[in-house]
Structure formats: structure tokens, C-alpha cells
Amino acid sequence: MTKSEVFFIEVKSTDLEARCEALQKLLEKVTPFKDYKKEEFIPVKLTIGDSQCAYNMHPELVKVIVSEIKKSKAKPFLFDTNVIYKGERMNAVNHLTLAQTKGFGHAKVGAPFIIADGVFGQDGKEYAIDSEYLKKIKVPSFIGSLDSLLVLSHATGHILSGYAGAIKNVAMGMVSKPMKQVQHSSLKPHVLEKKCTACRCCIKICPVEAISFKKEKAFIDQAKCIGCGECLCACKFDAVFINWSEDHDVFAKRMIDTAHFILSKFKNKFFITFGFDITKECDCISIKGEKIFSENIGILASIDPLAIDKATVDLINKNKDLFRETGIPATYRTIFDYGSKKGVGSLDYNLIKI
């Protein structure tokens, strides 16, 4: 079996200019955008981190990539989807405002930024999926309509997946809001009575009529509930409770099945991972002063999402299990093993240093 190629340029510096120069050098050497067609729309997946996060991918790095894409006369656009937890990225209005504030606006990076699942995270197209762990998937409607996909990831630890990189960026970041709920929780949502305002929005949107009034509060019938997560989107008062206590291996396998389906919809895929400012927690909850648990590594690039994630973890761990020493769950091992089994990518790779 042929090993996947993972290109790597080492960058230990914290200097932004040095990082941008290294990225430029990598792109000139690998030329990942040379086959993009004139006028072709190029979706660029990234996350800007939440409002308090100080370690997310820097917009100047994104600007370098956008400039390189434009040399092929293609039309790049940046995108993300809304999140299911409290924060500035729960809806498209606040999400876009945050993107502008953090320097990801068109004027700064040279490309528009869109929220691909609509104002409240409900928009998208639904597909049946052949998976033991998922029955259906709902994704932004452009998926399946465009040929190319570029995924930019900031390597971090993660409370559930252990490592967050390219695969998690696709699986969790390229689905509509209800699918985030389905991936995260094997148990069905219920209503927090103290927060319920009896607005009836969840009752109106439930596709199986599993929600009714009980003692003047919304009540979810667990026997009827299908775990679709639509009530989560409908409630604007945080009254729908999500059970975050999840079997990590099931969570990992759901992510792989989701990523596998999404990536199958694109002909040309490329992944770039930034191994800078690697925190124990992901960009959703990391704040200034968050412990950096790994030294700066550099920038990795590949057409194989599994290989680039495996290479990044290997570079972080070196000759020891830094994740275990830091108390981060080793769920990424299940992601790697199941991802290899499902054909998402290869665990065997050649690290090509630039």
C-alpha cells in the first residue's frame, strides 16, 4: 500500500511574519492550488475560535492562502457553521460580527466569510447515511455542488476527541446544528423547566410530535424523540439540555462516518494544519493564559486528512504520550483506527520536510 505524503515545514518561532513566510514557502513548494479552475468557487473551511480565544488561526495566515488561490483565478470563500453551545457563534449574525472583529472580514483576508448553515444553524440538505452509528446527515447545501474543498485547521487538544485537527474540523464544522447534537450525545435532549418560557417554538418544529406541554412547560417524550436536535435550534432560551456525557468511542466513530460522507462529495481535497500555540482545550473554550501543552511544531499539508492528523499527533508526542501526560483522552486513537478501517485515509505516511 502506498504511503500518503504529508508535507511539513518546521516553525518554532512565535513571530507572525516568520510563520507567514514559512507558509508561503510551503505553498510554493507543494503548489496545492494549481489545478483550480478559473472562476471556480473554492470553499475554505476554518474556525475563528470563540470570542475569548486568543490562540485561533491568525487571519494573516489565511490571507496568504487566499492570495495564492486567487493566482489561479478561482474564487475562494471562507466558511464555518454555527455551534450548539452558548457563545458568539450560536447564530450567523453574531458569528459574522465576531469574524469581522477578529480580523476575518473581506477587507482583511481578501475573501468573503459565510455561515453555511444559515441564521440559526438549521439550513442544509439531508441525506440518508449507511452507518451503524448514524441514520442520516444534514449538511450545508453547497456540499455536493462544488468540486474542491480546502480545510484549514489549528491543532489543539479536545475534551472529547483528545485531538482536534482536520477530521474534527470537517465532521463537526461542516454539518448543520442538529447534526452536531446527534454526534455529541447518544442520549436524547430534555427541557430545563426553570428556563422554559412556554414559547412553543420547540413544539412547532418537532418532526415527530415528541414535545408537548406538561405543567405549563415543554416536555419531551423520550419514547417518541428521535434525537434530531431540531428543538435545540428552535429554543432561544437555553432550555433544551444537551447531555455531554458521551461514550468517547461512539463519538469518535460518528465523527469518522460524518467526515467520510462529507469528503466523498468532493473531488479535490486539501488539508493544511497549523501546529502553533497548541492548547489542551479547543478554540471553542481556550482563553488567554490557557496552558500550552506542546511546543510549536510548524505547518503540515496533505491530501489525506487521516495522515495529516496522525502526523501532527506523532510530532506532538514525539517519543512519549504527551496527551496522556496532560490528562487528555486518547479518543483520537479510535478516530485513527476506525478512520483507517472506513477508508477516510491512511495511517501510513511519508513526512516530507521542506
Q: At what angle do helices 166-173 and 305-317 cross, to 10 degrees?
A: 130
Q: Mean pLDDT: which of 74-88, 319-333, 338-352 is highest?
A: 338-352
pLDDT of residue 321: 72
pLDDT tens per residue across span 231-242: 877 888 989 886
3-class SS string, 138-151: EECCCCCCCCEEEE
pLDDT at 137 over 70: yes
pLDDT of residue 294: 83
Distances (CA, A) of 106 to 59, 84, 129, 290, 345: 11, 26, 35, 29, 33
pLDDT of residue 344: 97
Query: What mean pLDDT is reported for the chain?
Result: 90
- Range of lowest pLDDT (24-38, 44-58, 165-179, 221-235): 221-235
Residues 95 and 224 in one domain: no
pLDDT at 228 over 70: no
Residues 169 and 222 in one domain: no
The set of cell numbers assigned to 68 is 495564492
Q: With bands split at pLDDT 50, 70 and 90, how would you rate the model's confidence at 203?
A: very high
pLDDT at 43 over 70: yes
List the end-to-end C-alpha distance of the chain, in Å, as a whole number. 24
- What CATH number corresponds to the domain at position 205? 3.30.70.20
Q: With bands split at pLDDT 50, 70 and 90, how would you rate the model's confidence at 254?
A: very high
When pLDDT is averaged across residues 220-226 and rounded to a whole number, the result is: 84
- Alpha-carbon gap, residue 57 to 54, rounded angstroms: 9
Residues 266 and 283 in one domain: yes
Largest distance between two CA atoms of the chain:
66
When pLDDT is averaged across residues 160-182 and rounded to a whole number, the result is: 89
Q: Domain tally for the chain?
A: 2
The share of the chain scoring above pLDDT 70, in percent, equals 92
- Alpha-carbon gap, residue 178 to 159, rounded angstroms: 20
Q: With bands split at pLDDT 50, 70 and 90, how would you rate the model's confidence at 1?
A: low
pLDDT tens per residue across span 266-289: 999 999 999 999 888 777 776 777
Between residues 263 and 214, the one the model is more confident about: 263
When pLDDT is averaged across residues 258-272 and rounded to a whole number, the result is: 97
Beta bridge partners of 115: 80
CA angle (75 as vertex; 73, 138 as ends), nearest 5: 150
Residues 61 and 162 in one domain: yes
pLDDT of residue 331: 82
CA angle (302 as vertex; 298, 304 as ends), nearest 5: 130
The per-residue DSSP string of 12-32 comes to ----HHHHHHHHHHHHHHH-T
The set of cell numbers assigned to 223 is 419514547
When pLDDT is averaged across residues 98-120 and rounded to a whole number, the result is: 96
pLDDT of residue 187: 55
Residues 174 and 215 in one domain: no
**Residue type, position 147, single letter:** D
CA 294, 297, 301, 302 torsion-angle sign: negative
- Alpha-carbon gap, residue 49 to 102, rounded angstroms: 9
Residues 179 and 200 in one domain: no
- Alpha-carbon gap, residue 40 to 130, rounded angstroms: 31
Residues 218 and 285 in one domain: no
pLDDT of residue 10: 97
pLDDT tens per residue across span 189-200: 889 999 999 999
pLDDT at 220 over 90: yes
Structural domain of residue 217, as residue ranges? Answer: 188-241
Beta bridge partners of 8: 300, 353
Q: The whole model's pTM is what?
A: 0.85
- Range of lowest pLDDT (86-90, 97-101, 253-257, 342-346): 86-90
Residues 221 and 251 in one domain: no
Strand pairing class (240-241; 136-139): unpaired
Strand pairing class (41-45; 75-80): parallel
- Alpha-carbon gap, residue 110 to 83, rounded angstroms: 25
Residues 292 and 236 in one domain: no
Residues 68 and 119 in one domain: yes
Phi, psi of 9 (to 5 degrees): -125, 120
Strand pairing class (125-128; 190-191): unpaired
**Residue type, position 273, single letter:** T
Note whether 342 and 260 are within 8 A (CB).
yes
- What CATH number corresponds to the domain at position 273? 3.40.50.11440
Residues 112 and 178 in one domain: yes
- Alpha-carbon gap, residue 73 to 50, rounded angstroms: 32
Residues 119 and 221 in one domain: no
The set of cell numbers assigned to 109 is 483576508
pLDDT of residue 236: 85
Q: With bands split at pLDDT 50, 70 and 90, how would you rate the model's confidence at 92?
A: very high
Provide CB contacts within 8 A for 353, sequence distance 6+: 8, 9, 10
pLDDT of residue 243: 61
pLDDT of residue 250: 84
CA angle (101 as vertex; 99, 106 as ends), nearest 5: 55
Note whether 274 and 164 are within 8 A (CB).
no
